[in-house]
Amino acid sequence: MKVLVFGSTGQLATEIARRAPGEVNLDIAARDRADLEVSGACAALIGEVSPDAVINAAACTAVDRAEQEEDRATRINATAPGEMARACAALGIPLVQVSTDYVFDGSGTAPWRPGDAPAPLGAYGRSKQAGEAAVRASGAAHAILRTSWVVSAHGSNFVKTMLRLGRERDGLRIVADQLGGPTPAASLADACLTVAQVLCAEPGKSGTYHFAGAPETSWAGFARAIFDMAGIACAVDDIPTAEYPAPARRPLNSRLDCSATHAAFGLAQPDWRDGLRDILTELGESSR
């Protein structure tokens, strides 16, 4: 099975490259082969490679920057995935498109279900919602896989930031009223590969799904777990979102209902605590 993956240096693409099973022949496409900001580049590469499935692990994820550069975010997160999806439809192959909890407004306390109406709070969420719509409209077999709070030993993410700041300071003020599920990039990579393989055999399972870590926690709770496992003596002071202003609004409720994903693909929610231990081990941090 040949799988074309867009994105090469991000957390997800890095883990896909590391974790693909032997029967999967990966073609990892960096920007020099397909620039998502160049019209037609992604579709041309799909036609050239002629894979059995496509995974789009590339995205513009700079949430605050997107507020000033929404056109660019939309090209990368919406226009390019739409072109990928139409190329996949022409070849009769499936596309796995990774999306985000930011398509929701974060209201309420119940976990968001795949069929709930999107209402993004900012530019990043709007661009990802537009990408979802373009994929659905393409006619391609597809899985839109929404996730949240992705972390790994690679790139920039909350775990690595907390490790750095926790060693520099005696205490940190961390937001405690945003709740969700941290998602190990390794688990998300496994999910993307599994979904791609299933869709090749069962395109009727096309649709929108959720995949995020469990149990739910807050950013403050996540920070405490990081410090505890890494043996870092840094106190965490809980604060509300209102005390941590940022250009882009963040959803307070990022809980995702992942039951449909388990039913369709047999994928259980990963325990982020296990994933965190693996990340700390890879980074050479002392863990418990």
Catalytic residue status for 124: yes
Q: What tokens appear for 134 in the block?
A: 């373009």
102, 124, 209, 244: the active-site residue: 124
Task: Domain 2-156+182-213+255-271: give its CATH architecture.
Answer: 3-Layer(aba) Sandwich (3.40)
Report the sign of the C-alpha dihedral through residues 111, 258, 77, 63, in that order: positive
Measuring CA to CA, which residue among 13, 40, 36, 10 is closest to residue 26? 13
In contact, 150 and 134? CB cutoff 8 Å? no
Domain boundaries, the chain: 2-156+182-213+255-271
Measured between alpha carbons, how far is 133 from 188 in angstroms, rounded to an integer?
A: 22
pLDDT tens profile 87-140:
999 999 999 999 999 999 999 999 999 999 999 999 999 999 999 999 999 999
Measured between alpha carbons, how far is 117 from 194 in angstroms, rounded to an integer?
A: 26
Is the link from the previous residue into 21 a cis peptide, with omega within 30 of 0?
Answer: no
Three-state DSSP state, 39 = coil
Q: pLDDT digit of tens for each residue in the chain (288 aa)?
A: 999 999 988 999 999 999 999 899 999 999 899 999 999 999 999 999 999 999 999 999 999 999 999 999 999 999 999 999 999 999 999 999 999 999 999 999 999 999 999 999 999 999 999 999 999 999 999 999 999 999 999 989 999 999 999 999 999 999 999 999 999 999 999 999 999 999 999 999 999 999 999 999 999 999 999 999 999 999 999 999 999 989 999 999 999 999 999 999 999 999 999 999 999 999 998 655
